[in-house]
Amino acid sequence: MSSSPTAPSSTTASSSSCRSTAVEEVAQQPSRNPLALVACGALAQPAADVVARRGWPVVVHPLPPLLHNQPHLIADEVRGLATALLLTHERVAVAYADCGTYGALDAVCAELGIRMLPGLHCYDLFAGESRLAAYLDDEPGTYLFTDFLVRSFERTVVRELGLDRWPELAEDYFRHYTRVVWLAQEPTDDLRARAEAAAARMALPLTVVETGDGRLERALEALLA
């Protein structure tokens, strides 16, 4: 795919935990757009940033990031949104790795004749599979952050786990972890402060590994080519 600007990109937000809102929004899209990207909510913004930077004629459609708390639902949610998008776009691709679906998402993509990102999870797409495996082999009790998780920690971790109501549960939730590794795409001062606060709430030391989004960009380029 050419890196020269051809059309603006956009994201179609979905605030619901189900696909109905996303599918309704798809129905309002002009027919036969060139390419739609069904994106994991945790990857949607960095993917949209890459799309905009490269000038690709792609519309990014995120699914709710909290699906990661129920990965058994991901494959069906992707099937529903991708099926709707195939009616209005020439091509559809999926910006998810396996993400805990144990092959179910790969089966959906094969069923629909569409492609998805490689790897076990989004951490591979930032750090690289071998590099990430080395971190986990070196210290199995590693809790991973991305920029998205740092920004959304209060919502996706604290509130979802009930720590805002029962902070004493933190000891039970995190007792087997030994450190936090933040795979930082854009380690701004604000994000660094948030990451430090989140790690402190977990009573864990923080290691910052600057990854950028180069691996994600190359994976998207291969996916969308």
- Give the pLDDT confidence score for residue 95 in this predicted structure: 97
- Report the C-alpha gap between 95 and 87 in whole angstroms: 19
> Is 122 in contact with 146 (CB distance < 8 Å)?
yes
Amino acid making up residue 44 = A
The domain segmentation of the chain, as residue ranges, is 10-117, 124-210
The pLDDT score that the predictor gives to residue 201 is 94
Residues 95, 97, 98, 99: is their CA dihedral positive or negative? negative
192-215 confidence digits (pLDDT tens): 999 999 999 999 999 999 999 999
Which position has the higher pLDDT, 29 or 141?
Answer: 141
Question: Mean pLDDT over residues 161-182, rounded?
Answer: 96
CATH class of this structure's domain 10-117:
alpha beta
Check pLDDT > 90 for residue 161: yes
Quote the pLDDT of residue 27: 47
Residue 179 reports pLDDT greater than 80: yes
pLDDT class for 11, splitting at 50, 70, 90? very low
What percentage of the chain reaches a pLDDT higher than 90?
83
The pLDDT value recorded for residue 34 is: 86
Res. 15: pLDDT tops 60:
no
| Confidence class for position 16, pLDDT limits 50, 70, 90 | very low
How sure is the predictor about 120, in pLDDT bands with cuts at 50, 70 and 90? Answer: very high
Half-sphere exposure at residue 51, Cβ-oriented, CA atoms within 13 angstroms: 24
Average pLDDT rounded to a whole number, residues 47-55: 96
Which strands make up the sheet holding 179-184, listed edge to edge?
142-146, 179-184, 206-210
Tell me the one-letter amino acid at 217: E
Residue 4: pLDDT above 90? no
Average pLDDT, the chain: 88
* Phi, psi torsion values for 128, nearest 5 degrees: 90, 140
